[in-house]
Chains A and B, each alone.
Chain A
Amino acid sequence: MSENILEVINVTKDFPGVRALDNVSFRVKRGEIHGICGENGAGKSTLMGIVSGVHPFGSFEGQVLVHGKEMKFRSVRDSEKVGLTIMHQELALSPYLSIYENMFLGHSKNRFGIIDWDELIVRSRPYLERVGLKDRPETIVSKMGVGKQQLVEIARALSKNTELLILDEPTASLNDEESEQLLNLILELKKEGLTCVMISHKLNEVLKIADSITVLRDGESIRTYDARTEEVTRAMLIKDMVGRDMKHLYPEKNPSIGETVFEVKNWTVYHPEYHHIKVVDSASFHLRRGEILAFCGPMGAGRTELMMSIFGKSYGSRSEGELFVKEKKMEFATPQDAIRSGLGYVSEDRKSLGLILIQDVKTNISNSSLQKLSRYGVVDSFAETNAAERYRKSLNIKTPSILQMVRNLSGGNQQKVVLSRCLLAEPEIFIVDEPTRGIDVGAKYEIYCILNDLAAAGKSIIMVTSELPEAIGMADRIYVMNEGEIKGSLDRGEATQEKIMHMALS
C-alpha cells in the first residue's frame, strides 16, 4: 500500500471562460492532517469537487490517486465507496429529521426496502460517543446549534467507514469555543487513524492542527509545507496566498470622533416564536460621528438580533426601548423607516438576507435606491448604470461586467456588492454584521479600508463581529455582549482578546 492516501497529480480544470485549476499537485499522507489554504477563488472548492467526484472524471485533466491507484470517479457515490467523505461548508443535514436518521440517510442498511430504525439508533451510539455528542440520537437536528450539527455530520462520515475526511471551512459558523472543540476532535480522530484534509481561511487553526499545508493561489498549487519538519508562520502562508507581503492585517487609522449621532436605551427584544423569552435584555449603547463600534460576544449573544430589531423590527415578536437619532426620538416600524432616518444594514447572511442571487450586480446595487434613481416612478437606467459602475470602480468589485449575476461572484465581491447597495443609499449610520465572514484575506483588507474611509468621511459604523482580532484592530470602542445583555465596553487600546472573553463570561 502506498504511503499516500491521496495524490492529486497535475490537475487542470477549465470552466467556460476561466481556468479554475492550473496544473495542481499535492499529496496527503496516511494519518496526517493536511491543511489547504488559499483566497476565495483560488480553486479550493473546485479541487475538492474533483477529489470527491462532484466534477466527474473526464471533465478535467490530470490524475487523482487513492491508495496509489488512479480513480475515475463518476459521482460522489464512487468516491464514498473508497472511503472518502467531504463535509461541505453549508451543512447538508435534513433539519426536521433526528440525529440518527440523518446519520444513516442514504446509506442505511435495509431489508427489502424496510429499515430497522431501532437497530440504527443502537448503531449510532458509538459514533456519537466518538465525536463527543451527548444528545440523544432521537433529537431533531434543527433544535441543536450549528456546532453540534457539525458533530452529527462528522459522526455520519465516521459511520460510512471514512478513511479520508475532507472538511471545507468547518469552523466558519462556529464560535471560538466550538471551534476549539472541533479542532480537538479532529486531532483526536487523527490518533485513531483518520486522515483529514481541512480547507480553511483561519490560518491560526490550520497552523494549530495541520501536519502539512498546501497553499493554492489563482488555481495553482504554490507550495506544500511540512509543518513537522519546518517552522511555518502565519506570515509565510499569507505571503504565499496573496503573492505579496501583508505587513498589516488592519489598515492604519486616525479617528476623529464627534458628537453622539445614535443612541439606544434599554432595548429589549422578544423571541419571534416564544414571546416571553428575551433575546436581548435592556441593551443601551451610543454611537458617535466618525466612530467604529464593534459588538463582540459568542454566538447566540443576541448581537445580530439586537441590530436587526433596531433596523425596523426585522427580528423578534416585539421590542421595547427607545431609539434616538441625533437626539431625536425615533420609531422604526419597517426597514424603510430606518433607511429614511439614515440607517443602513448589511446582513451577516449575504446569500439569504443580503443579495438577490439571480439578479445582476447593477440591479443588486440599485435596489435600495430606486426612488433616487427614478423620476415619476420610471427608472433612469443611465443614472443606475453610472451608479453601479462608480461603485464597481471605487470598491474594486471584480466582475467582468455589472450585468454579471451576483451568484457567479466570489464571496468577497458579493460582500462588496452588498456594501455598494448600502453605500448608494447614503446612510449616516452603517450597521455591518460580520462584514468579512467567509471572504479571503485580501478582500478583508479592502473591506476594512472601505469602513475606515467611511468613518473618516464622518459616517458612523456599528460592526458586529465574531472575530476578536478584527474588533480589536478596527474598532474605536468595543461592546461585549453575552446572553442578550451588554456586559460592558472597552476603548481602543485597552481591549485585548482575554479582556473581551473575561467580560463576556463574567
Chain B
Amino acid sequence: MAEKKAAVQTMSLRQLFKDNIRNYSMFLMLGLIFVVFAVMTGGVNFSSRNISNIFMQNSYILILAVGMVLVIIVGNIDLSVGSICAFTGAIAAMIYNTGLGLIPTIILTMGAGMVIGVFQGFWIAYAKVPAFIVTLAGMLLFRGLTYVITNVSPISLRDDQFRQITSGFISIPALTIDRVHYLAWIVGAVLSLIVVVAFVQGRRNKIKKEFEILPLPAFLAKVLFVVGMIALLSWKFADFRGVPMIVVVLSIVVGTFMFITKKTVIGRYIYAVGGNARSAKLSGINSEMVVFTVHVIMGSLAGLAGLVFAGYMNSALPQAGNLFELDAIAACFIGGASASGGIGTIIGAIVGGLVMGVINNGMSLMNIGADWQYVVKALVLLLAVFYDIYTRRKAGLA
C-alpha cells in the first residue's frame, strides 16, 4: 500500500493468507474429512453414485443453512425450521395431491413458508420478542399444526413426479453415449467458461480502476480451484445418471443468496444490523425491516426444504424435520458464523453443512450407527468453533 506510484497494487501473498486462513482451512477441513473417509471406505464415498447421494441426503439441511446463516448474521436464531419443514412438507403433499402441477406446488409451498416467516418476523422484529422465544414457540406450534393437518399419519404422494425434485436427474438421451451423460460435461464446460470470463473481467476492471488485486499466482489458483471443482462434479455426474435435479435447485438457492449477501444493499444491511443494531439504526437503516425480511426469507427457504424433504421421503411425514434446526445451526457455526452476529457467509454455511453431511455419509458407509454419528458430529462442531475462536484471537480480532 505504501507505493502508491505503481498503478496496479497487489496484495502480498502473506497478507492474503493471513486474512483468509479461516476460509482456506474450512475448505481444507472438508477435503481432509473426505479423503479420510475415502481411505477408510476404500474409495466408496468417492463413487459417482455416492457423490450424488451426498447432495440428496443433505439438500434440505443445506437449504435451511442458507436461511439460518442470514438469521445468525442478523444476530438471531431460528429453532422452528424443523417443525416448519414438517408443516410445509405436509402442505406440499396436500396441494400436490389436489392435482396441481409441481411448479405451482413449489410456489404455493414456499408461499406458505413465507407467510410463516411473516408471522414470526412480525413478533421478532416489531413486537420485539426475542427470536429464541418466538421460534421456540414456533417449533411447538408448527409441530402441533402438522399433527393436526396430517392426523399424525403420513401423506403419500399421488405419483412419482414429485420426488424428482430431490431424487431426479437431468439427462438428455441424445447426449448419453455408452452410459456417459455428456450433458453434465456440457453444463460443466459452460459454467467453467462463465466463471473464467467473469473472473478475468473482474480483474481487468480492477486493474483499470487501480484497485487492489490478487497476486497472479493466487488468482490463477483460485480460478483453477473453482474450475477443478466444477470439472470433478461434472465427471462424477456424467458417470452416474446425469446432473441431479437437487444440485440445480441448490445452486440456484446458494447463488441467489451469495449474490444478495455480497452485492446488494439489503445484504449489507443484514451484516450492519447484526454487527451493531443500534449503530445501524442511527445510520438510517430500518433495522426492523431488515430483521423482518431475514425471517421471511428463512420461512420461505424452510418451505422449500420441507418440500424437498417430502420429495426425498416420497411422502410427507408428521415427524419430519426433527432436529433439522440444530443441524442447520451447527452448519453455520462450523462454517465460521459468529454467535454474536455480524459474521458469517453463505459459502461457509454450505461447507459446514457438507462437513457434517460427509461425516454422516462416510460413517453410514462404514456401517457405524447414528449413535456414534451424533458423538462425532458433536466433537466436530466443538472443535471447529474452538479453532475459529482460537485463530481469531491469534489474529487479534477477538
Q: Which residues of A contact B276 (CB under 8 A)?
A: 352, 355-357
| Shortest beta-carbon distance from A143 to chain B in Å | 22
Q: Is A330 an interface residue (CB 8 A)?
A: no
The CA of A335 and the CA of B264, in the complex, are separated in Å by: 21
The CA of A353 and the CA of B286, in the complex, are separated in Å by: 15
Q: A370-B269, A401-B1 are in contact. Are A421 and B283 (CB under 8 A)?
A: yes
Q: Which residues of A contact B209 (CB under 8 A)?
A: 382, 386
The CA of A202 and the CA of B294, in the complex, are separated in Å by: 46
Q: Is A100 an interface residue (CB 8 A)?
A: no
The CA of A407 and the CA of B395, in the complex, are separated in Å by: 13
The CA of A255 and the CA of B211, in the complex, are separated in Å by: 39
The CA of A427 and the CA of B211, in the complex, are separated in Å by: 28
When C-beta atoms are compared, the residue in chain A nearest to B276 turns out to be A356
When C-beta atoms are compared, the residue in chain B nearest to A334 turns out to be B286
The CA of A153 and the CA of B177, in the complex, are separated in Å by: 81
Q: Which residues of A contact B279 (CB under 8 A)?
A: 347, 352-356
Q: Is A221 an interface residue (CB 8 A)?
A: no
Q: Which residues of A contact B211 (CB under 8 A)?
A: 382, 385
Q: Is B342 an interface residue (CB 8 A)?
A: yes
Contact, CB under 8 Å: B268 / A379: yes
The CA of A425 and the CA of B276, in the complex, are separated in Å by: 19
Contact, CB under 8 Å: B396 / A335: no
Across the A-B interface, how many residue pairs have beta carbons closer than 8 Å? 91
Q: Please, how many residues of chain A have a CB less than 8 angstroms from a CB on the other chain?
A: 41
Q: Is A405 an interface residue (CB 8 A)?
A: yes
Cβ < 8 Å to A, chain B residues 184-208: 205
Q: Is A15 an interface residue (CB 8 A)?
A: yes
The CA of A345 and the CA of B205, in the complex, are separated in Å by: 35
The interface bits of chain B over 354-398 (1 if a CB of A lies within 8 angstroms of the residue's CB, else 0) are 000000000000000000000000000000000000000000110
The CA of A356 and the CA of B286, in the complex, are separated in Å by: 16
| Shortest beta-carbon distance from B262 to chain A in Å | 9
Contact, CB under 8 Å: B268 / A367: yes
Q: A353-B278, A378-B264 are in contact. Are A425 and B284 (CB under 8 A)?
A: yes
The CA of A271 and the CA of B285, in the complex, are separated in Å by: 24
Contact, CB under 8 Å: B1 / A400: yes
The interface bits of chain A over 341-375 (1 if a CB of B lies within 8 angstroms of the residue's CB, else 0) are 00001010000111111110001001110110010
When C-beta atoms are compared, the residue in chain A nearest to B283 turns out to be A368
The interface bits of chain B over 251-272 (1 if a CB of A lies within 8 angstroms of the residue's CB, else 0) are 0000000000001111111011
Q: Which residues of A contact B286 (CB under 8 A)?
A: 334, 336
Contact, CB under 8 Å: B272 / A367: yes
Q: Is A339 an interface residue (CB 8 A)?
A: yes
The CA of A386 and the CA of B267, in the complex, are separated in Å by: 20
Contact, CB under 8 Å: B272 / A377: no
The CA of A16 and the CA of B284, in the complex, are separated in Å by: 36
Q: Is B281 an interface residue (CB 8 A)?
A: yes
The interface bits of chain B over 222-265 (1 if a CB of A lies within 8 angstroms of the residue's CB, else 0) are 00000000000000000000000000000000000000000111
| Shortest beta-carbon distance from B338 to chain A in Å | 8
Q: Which residues of A contact B269 (CB under 8 A)?
A: 370
The CA of A405 and the CA of B397, in the complex, are separated in Å by: 9
Most buried by A among B267, B283, B397: B283
The CA of A425 and the CA of B283, in the complex, are separated in Å by: 9
Cβ < 8 Å to B, chain A residues 277-320: 311, 314
Contact, CB under 8 Å: A377 / B281: no
Q: Is A408 an interface residue (CB 8 A)?
A: yes
10 closest pairs, A vs B, by CB?
Answer: A356-B275, A339-B284, A368-B283, A356-B276, A370-B265, A336-B284, A374-B265, A367-B283, A377-B264, A335-B284
A-B contact pairs, 17 of them (CB 8 A): A340-B284, A353-B278, A353-B279, A355-B279, A356-B276, A357-B275, A357-B276, A358-B275, A363-B272, A367-B272, A370-B268, A378-B263, A379-B263, A385-B211, A386-B209, A405-B397, A407-B397
